[in-house]
Amino acid sequence: MTMKMINENEEEIELEEEDQEEEGEEDENCQSLGVKITRILIFYLIIGFVGWNFFNFMFNSKYCNIEKIVVKGNDHLSDEEIFYKSRIKLGENIFKLDLNKTMEFLKQEPWIKEIEIKRIIPDKIIISLEERKPSAVIYIGGEYFILDKDGMVLSKIEKPGGLSLPLISGLKTVDVKIGDTIIEPEFRIALEIINSANIILPNKFYKIKILALDDFLIFGVVNNLIVRVHKAEEIINKGTLLREALDKIIKENLLVDHIDMRFKDSVIIKVKE
């Protein structure tokens, strides 16, 4: 009876010792985890402090002020015009420059089709752009305007002389401003027609007049030649006949009122009476 009681006490003592050891290990683990968390917090606080000071320095230091602007891809517009329209200020901190707003300013210029702006740390801005290509001069309301193939009005000029661009007249529109887009289908048809004519007979035509949506007069460079057509396909499909008609006029020295290409499968030379 006595031996049994001793064994039970010994087991109880051993269990108490094991419980104490487990509690000690848990305390050590908790302390270790707390130290790790503290170290991590201190590390991120240091990183945050250093980062804040770094960015504060970059945003306020003269070292990062804009000193140079490089413009690429411009042909019609000068570097000075682009710089003025961008509203970028030399000496401004490069990180404070709002690139989206600068792009909005530049896109107000009709000549600019695509644009990209990059910061080059510490003090350089690169403006890369693609300009619209002039395709024609149009005569509207007593004034001449340069347009691209999409009908965007790029700029106004005094006279079209000296420009190797076709002149389009006869459009019903009476009021147009720079930056507008000509949406009338007659404009695109007229441009297609005169471009097709200059493909078949290079540098032979300089002007096209719109009479109606399906009626156009093309004016030649020599002999006051006039060609009347419905659409561009007539020029392409009857290119050989048009060349032959022109050769006949020159060879026989004919006084011609105009060449009519509006008839199916034929080209009619109408001589002056």
Pick 3 or 226 by higher pLDDT. 226
Chain segment 174-231, per-residue pLDDT in tens: 788 999 999 999 999 999 999 999 999 998 899 999 999 999 999 998 778 999 999 9
Can you list the domains of the chain with their CATH numbers?
A: 63-131 (3.10.20.310), 134-271 (3.40.50.11690)
Q: Mean pLDDT, to the nearest integer, of 4-32?
A: 55
Would you state the pLDDT for residue 124? 95
Contacts of the segment 82-86: beta carbons below 8 A, 24+ positions apart: 82/106, 82/127, 82/129, 85/109, 86/127
| Residue 76 scores a pLDDT above 50 | yes
DSSP character string of 209-233: EEEETTEEEEEESSTT-EEEESSHH
Joined together, the tokens standing for residue 94 give 């490069």
Its pTM surpasses 0.75: no
Q: What is the pLDDT of residues 42-56, one digit of tens each?
A: 766 666 655 555 455
Q: What is the side-by-side order of every strand in the sheet holding 112-120?
A: 68-72, 124-131, 112-120
pLDDT band for 58, please (50, 70, 90 cuts): low
